[in-house]
Structure 1
Amino acid sequence: MRSATRGYVAGRAITGPQIDDSSLFQPPLMIISPPFLPQNGLTSTDPAKDDPMMDAVDQFELGHHGVYPIAFDRRWHCGMHLAPTEQTECVRAIADGEVIAYRVSQKAISDGQTKRDGSPDLNSNIGFVLLKHKTDTGEGRTITFYSLYMHLLDINNQQRIAPQPTNPPAVGTSSALPAWLLSPADGVQAGGGKKVYRKDILGYWGHCHGQPHLHFEIFMTEEDFRAWFSQAGHTVQLGEKNPATPVSKDYWGHSYFVIQGGEAIVSVPPGHDRSPYFPPLIAGALSAQNKLYVEAYFYKGQRYTRSWIEKNGKLEALTPAPVRDPYADYEYKLYQRATDLYPKCPSAGYELLRFGRVLSTELPALSRAESRTWIAITYDANGAQGYIDISQDAIKKLSDADFPFFMGWQKIAEANTPFSQDGVCDFDELRRIVDLVEESETPEQRREAEYKQEDQLTAYVYGNDAVRGKLRGFVCHAPSEWDASGNESRYSRLNQADGFFGKRKNFDPQGYENFIRFVRQLQFLDQTSLGPGKKFWFFHPLAFIRHFRKCRWLSFAELKRMFPPTALRKAAGSQWVSEPVHPQMNTVDEYGIELNKAMRKFGIGTSLRQAAFLGNAIQETQWLRLLAEGAPQQSRYFPWFGRGFLQLTWPDNYVRYWRFSGRQVDQALASRLHEAARVSDQARTNAALVAAEAHVPSTLKSWRDDVATKKFEASDSAGAYWAWSDAARPADQPPILRRETKQVGNTSKPFYSSEPFGSVAATVNVGYPSNSFAAINGLQARYQAYTAALVMLTDGIRFPDAHGAQKELPDW
């Protein structure tokens, strides 16, 4: 059972270090989002689609121009073109970042085309914002990358479609542009230390050549690319055709298994003929000449897999769509599965079932026989499923942190393709694509402008799913098209006799000069701190975002801003007070890494689950102030008072956690403690537990203290409690926020309730699924903590105001 006296210290405010409240609620440093956040991306009707927001934004990728990563004349085009269905869908920063450079224009420019009256057609926008992002992806893992938002709408047209405040804020928000993005200036402007935050509005998508779109890029410098992909101890196997199970414990996202040919597939694992965990499937075997690749992931309580088989060096998909595991609610029941199948150390078994390997070094080792981990996989083209033991050393275990090649990731660099120094892509497969398009053109089409021929290339790629899918995984080492210093080498072949403009001299003699003049008006990179004459590593932007959204590692800066400005507390009688929140920041510095590991281990890896977990943990620890409950002598469960991030309470919960972690607790002692707790609870006094304390060995007393003082124990115990109480199930439900108020003196103080989160809080309070909100300690403060976490972690949840209007930020 859980305590009804935890949370706020009665009668007094929580004290702690003073911090600037105005900085608490900016979107987070590390979490990444797409540059558009359409409302239809918040939910999905497909139970296997684990990122509906990215699915929605994928639909904005234009199918008629701007293909990544090549242009019609084999020049690199290392960005993509996006256009939502509504012009008023604003462009947003994908992550917290530093402004490197920007340009704001009052009006559009002309690419040389004219209107019917002969006046210049102002059909192109030169506005842009270039951001630098520095984020954490794991313990000791910091990645630096850049995002570019090109062809932002000019002020004249922007004011027409989305009028901005006459007195704009100095710093941007998710609902209004900052003053610096509303002030046209001559030329490229340096960032000057300006900061932006995820979801901040950067502008609205404009045009180029009259074609409406946002040109969007994500890239890394050569130095930053090497620093992350080749860091000692964490070398990433990007594109490696024969990957190995990494020595590093760096794991995130989906799991992947590489299974050599010749392995037997069984219908039921040996010794589990009657086990409910293994519904009978179909036995079989892999051909010795073939290799099987399996992707596995959990989403909303279910386990899904996809499979590919390699035959003669070519991959063949065996599962057109993700296949749900035959055991229903696999993840929701993962704790019990691990407890039943791995009795020596269920915690290690839990990691084997989730990751395919044990990542925690604090757990007792399991023998080879004790480590067997049978999972269901699809292994042939007929869709046959069977079980295989993935704990075998011969089966390689990877995750998204390894960028596996069979998921499409491939480096396109000097090491594997004959690059030209002039910025022209000579990679054979891309070159073949361009040649096929050129061969299909009519004489009339070859007379069209260069961007029109670009459209034909894009149409070909988008009409070929295999080509399109492969291009998304290319990580390309190339110069930037926005660097004017390379124009001569990059474009000169266009003006040669057999080049695009060379073949048009008789009817477009100034075509090349006009083209260069227009391009220079767009370029800017040589005027930034990145400098001219360099190559960068480019990613397909939406593929990059989708990939790193699976990481969910929260930086210390994020965790330190995961708090509401104030918290409601019930005072004497029917009175309510609202107190400033003062979090204990040192707790994040000391425990943040292990807290991240615990969330990774126990599947607290979606924005809603993290918000629900942290909404409880942050309030239960009195805003991270106490990892051991205050004034415990007064509690009826003393000395088994709350400890850790979810305040593990009562001896039964401690014993359950220790046994889960592979530690032995005498059953007679456990029974004695259970009875003493029952008597103490019934008598509303701790006398029976205090008497039983004389029989508790010093080892258990030390373990008990460890839950509050040791980083692993404080975090892992909270995750285990989350798992066995089945809190993930209600956490997976949409929030459905309702604005409520409490009267605080003469003021009506708003907060947002949520029935699914209330169920999580009730479940955490009692240790098993519950919808009883009445006895939840500090429920309103938990709601406030949950609201703050939703603002930080989610993409576009709306909060109703006092009049029912939906807003991007809550009323605090």
Structure 2
Amino acid sequence: MIISPPFLKAKNAHETDAAWIERVMTVVDRRDYPVNGHGSWHGGIHIAHTDGGRPFESVRAVADGIVVSVRKSSGIDKRDKAPLNLNVDQPNVKGSDDGYVLLKHETEIGSGEGAKVVFYSLYMHLKSLESTVKIGGKVYRKDPLGTSGMVDAVNAFHFQIFCDDDNISKLTGRRSRELDVSKDGRTDAVYGDIHFYLPPQTKFYDRAPANNSTSITGLSELYTSSAPLYVSMTLAQGSCTMVTRQKNTQTDGKYDLLGEPLVNADGKDYEYNLYKTAMRNYKESPSAGFELLRFGRVINTEHETLVPADAPLWMTVSYPGGKGVVNLADPSIKKFSDADFPHWKGWLLVDDDNDTHSQCNSSIIRKLQEEGSYETQSNRLICCLPFEWEKSTIDARYKWLMTGLPWEQCTSEKTAIWQVPGTQESNERTLMSEEDYGKFKQHAEALCFDSGALGSGRLWHFNPVYFIEHMRRCGWLGKEDVIRLVRRNEERAHRPNLSRSTLEQWIESEGTHHSEIIRPANIKDIMPKVLNKYGIVSPLRIAHFFGQMARETGRFEFFVEKGDDSYFDKYEPRMPQGRKLGNTHIGDGVKFKGRGAIHLTGRHNYANYSEFRLGPQHRGMEYYTIPPNNTRPVTDAYTAFDAAGYYWSSKQKYSTTLSPLGKLGINYWADKGAQESDASEVTRRINPGRDGFLTVRWPAFIHAWYAINDEKNPPEDYRPIK
């Protein structure tokens, strides 16, 4: 999934992604989620804007989608009159714009049917719409939809994100209020932070055993937990940050941080050094060990086997009053990721209000209000509530304005009295007259619309700010994402342009093999798994990878280096000027030609990859050497991409200096930035001669970078595949 905010403004220097999202999605006071200032359910937020700039800032699609429903604004003249202006009797008070766009987004957050998700985004109170926005039409992320208008006389628009009942478990991995911590989390979707549930009686030691052993002989026990602990691991920008939480005994649903975050407590540049750590600590199965380090468990079990099966993961973790080393691979410790929406980070499913009126009557929310923790915890509540824009249910949702609510005391003077949750105070309001309710209903009808099945089904709502911030951690690439990331070829006499149909065949192919033009099978399922494994999940890392892959695969046409036998003489050991790459026998040049999404070339690299996948006993290259008929890469997409990920993480040569930075994997260089010099440094670690940099690698990177980042304007030579 690739997602962005509905306003796109430049980031400030050193501004975090979360801070940037909150800044560009500034919420209007008393129009927050999930309950507004009047105690009513509010399925979205009102995002403030100003009309100071020219041209007006566009409201943009947050993700690729289809236009489900749309309405043009009635215009300023009608906006400030009844029924769009509910306060028309008050001087100089403006009303609400009634333009809107409803988008349906079909995307993927992982592998398999359970990770194919559908959600909706609604942009209400727009003052103008783009002429290209039409029912049934396709829109792409960052496409302008229109401009923000007014709502209740305030410069703002209403924005909400929701899904139907069938998709809540696909998006969050559950239907229950909290996660089930008796078992590991989902494996079809794994992204973002990795989380560990440590049960009571978990032991903390003074150090890790020598040689990554499971033996605790000679270790000193520092602490044994008496209550559950919740540990979160963040791998980003080369660092590993460990945070521990413990449930607050006074406030339900609150989890307190223990101590300060531990940054790289288990080694400098921890994330950049995962390959070296895997080779050192998991000698019998380094590739599976890499996954253990990355995810806390082996995810790709159909391809990777951990040897021995009980190999440990010793890491430094905080406990109440100190820190110690824990074997996080212990089966009693359960593993999760952000894809599980862990409740200790505040994600709770709220589905306990069965009333038909619009006022919140959730005991979960009432308890948060009574305990004084609602303000801090409301942002991550995922609430099941009626669609507030359905025209046919207006009376069911709002007639209480005239008749009163179940918990109100209504007097003969048409006054309703109720107690304020969490206080000893009571408030009162005047019930609407039939005439006033009629005016209100006309106002609601002018803004609402017939939403079809959405209006009658169970709908789950997210705080849009926190949904977008959360889902931007998911670097999973679906088919449509891949197509957007690939740059269309220029015209060439010997090969036609790379069309959408050609690329779809490449992504969805069952595998083709003609001479040395090879397309592995199941690329759409395998490629994002492997990129996730090797941490190539940030927009910048993905763009750099696609820039390199464009050249290495001949613009996505083959996964084996092309040329007749004489072309590979440059790799032959008998050639004095050749790049031998560890080749020792005549014929090794052809036998160990470049293969993979990023080419491994030469006997030495093949041997290293074999050792990485299956351990040192397989340095004889049984795994990636494919005698006698070169069949493995045809059907084995996992090997083709995993070899590229291995190369990406293990590459340690061609440093610009003699500093230790030259020993880090390519993620280090990809994280440097998006300038030409940055892409050049990445290229030098793939191909020291920078072959095809200006003609293919750099243009392909620029294209992929725009497709995945948050820039509004495409580069001059942007060539999307339609």
TM over 0.5: yes
Q: Secondary structure at the match of 2:672?
A: coil
Establish whether residue 268 from structure 1 lines up as the match of residue 204 from structure 2: no
Give the one of 546, 550, 560 matched to 1:628.
560
Distance 1:196 1:321, change over 3 A: farther
Tell me by how many angstroms 1:700 deviates: 6.0
Distance between the aligned counterparts of 1:102 and 1:194, measured in 2?
A: 11
> Which residue is equivalent to 2:342?
404
Tell me by how many angstroms 1:321 deviates: 6.7
Deviations 1:347-383 (A, max 9, x none): 11111111000112222332245x1111122222x4x
Distance 1:535 1:237, change over 3 A: closer
Distance between the aligned counterparts of 1:809 and 1:710, measured in 2?
A: 30
Distance between the aligned counterparts of 2:386 and 2:135, measured in 1?
A: 25
Distance between the aligned counterparts of 1:592 and 1:717, measured in 2?
A: 17
Give the one of 427, 434, 437 matched to 2:362.
427
Between the two proteins, what is the percent identity of the paired residues? 28
> Which residue is equivalent to 1:684?
none
Superposed counterparts of 1:655-804, under 5 Å: 655-664=607-616, 701=627, 706-707=632-633, 709-725=635-651, 726-736=665-675, 754-766=676-688, 775-796=690-711
Distance between the aligned counterparts of 1:775 and 1:632, measured in 2?
A: 22
Distance 1:505 1:396, change over 3 A: closer
Structure number with the bigger relative contact order (C-alpha 8 A, sep ≥ 6) is 1
Distance 1:703 1:353, change over 3 A: farther
Distance between the aligned counterparts of 1:293 and 1:421, measured in 2?
A: 37
Distance between the aligned counterparts of 1:558 and 1:214, measured in 2?
A: 28
Give the one of 230, 233, 238 matched to 1:301.
238
C-alpha contact 2:633 2:640 (8 A) present in aligned 1: yes
For structure 2, which runs of at least 5 residues remain unmatched after alignment?
214-218, 417-427, 509-520, 572-588, 652-664
Tell me by how many angstroms 1:557 deviates: 2.3
Letter in 1 for 2:21: M
Deviations 1:261-283 (A, max 9, x none): 22221221011699xxxxxx996
Superposed counterparts of 1:342-741, under 5 Å: 342-360=282-300, 361-369=302-310, 371-380=311-320, 382=321, 384-413=322-351, 417-431=352-366, 466-496=373-403, 510-524=435-449, 527-530=450-453, 532-567=455-490, 580-581=497-498, 584-589=503-508, 590=521, 591-633=523-565, 634-635=567-568, 636-637=570-571, 638-639=589-590, 640-664=592-616, 701=627, 706-707=632-633, 709-725=635-651, 726-736=665-675
Q: Secondary structure at the match of 2:324?
A: strand
Q: Secondary structure at the match of 1:179?
A: coil
Q: Secondary structure at the match of 2:474?
A: coil
Give the one of 91, 99, 104 matched to 2:67.
99
Q: Secondary structure at the match of 1:701?
A: coil
Letter in 1 for 2:448: Q
Deviations 1:411-462 (A, max 9, x none): 111xxx25213343211353467799xxxxxxxxxxxxxxxxxxxxxxxxxx
Tell me by how many angstroms 1:472 deviates: 1.6
Distance between the aligned counterparts of 1:222 and 1:714, measured in 2?
A: 38
Letter in 1 for 2:607: V
Letter in 2 for 1:492: K
Q: Secondary structure at the match of 1:223?
A: coil
Give the one of 105, 111, 114 matched to 1:139.
111
C-alpha contact 2:177 2:350 (8 A) present in aligned 1: no
Tell me by how many angstroms 1:126 deviates: 1.0
Letter in 2 for 1:265: F
Distance between the aligned counterparts of 1:609 and 1:597, measured in 2?
A: 15
C-alpha contact 1:269 1:374 (8 A) present in aligned 2: yes
CA RMSD of superposed structures (Å)? 3.4
Distance between the aligned counterparts of 1:477 and 1:556, measured in 2?
A: 30
C-alpha contact 1:799 1:809 (8 A) present in aligned 2: no
For structure 1, which runs of at least 5 residues remain unmatched after alignment?
1-29, 156-176, 182-190, 275-280, 437-463, 572-576, 671-695, 737-753, 767-773, 803-807
C-alpha contact 1:238 1:403 (8 A) present in aligned 2: no
Tell me by how many angstroms 1:611 deviates: 0.5
> Which residue is equivalent to 1:152?
126
Distance 1:601 1:504, change over 3 A: closer
Letter in 2 for 1:54: I
C-alpha contact 2:41 2:358 (8 A) present in aligned 1: yes
Tell me by how many angstroms 1:113 deviates: 2.8
Distance between the aligned counterparts of 2:603 and 2:104, measured in 1?
A: 50
C-alpha contact 1:567 1:578 (8 A) present in aligned 2: no
Q: Secondary structure at the match of 2:679?
A: helix
Distance between the aligned counterparts of 2:457 and 2:624, measured in 1?
A: 64
Give the one of 9, 15, 24 matched to 1:57.
24
Deviations 1:154-192 (A, max 9, x none): x4xxxxxxxxxxxxxxxxxxxxx64255xxxxxxxxx53
Distance between the aligned counterparts of 1:785 and 1:421, measured in 2?
A: 53
Distance between the aligned counterparts of 1:212 and 1:618, measured in 2?
A: 45
> Which residue is equivalent to 1:39?
10
The number of aligned residues is 634
C-alpha contact 2:547 2:701 (8 A) present in aligned 1: yes
Distance between the aligned counterparts of 1:506 and 1:253, measured in 2?
A: 49
Establish whether residue 67 from structure 1 lines up as the match of residue 32 from structure 2: yes
Distance between the aligned counterparts of 1:78 and 1:433, measured in 2?
A: 18
> Which residue is equivalent to 1:454?
none
C-alpha contact 1:81 1:214 (8 A) present in aligned 2: yes
Establish whether residue 257 from structure 1 lines up as the match of residue 196 from structure 2: yes
Q: Secondary structure at the match of 2:11?
A: helix
Q: Secondary structure at the match of 2:643?
A: helix
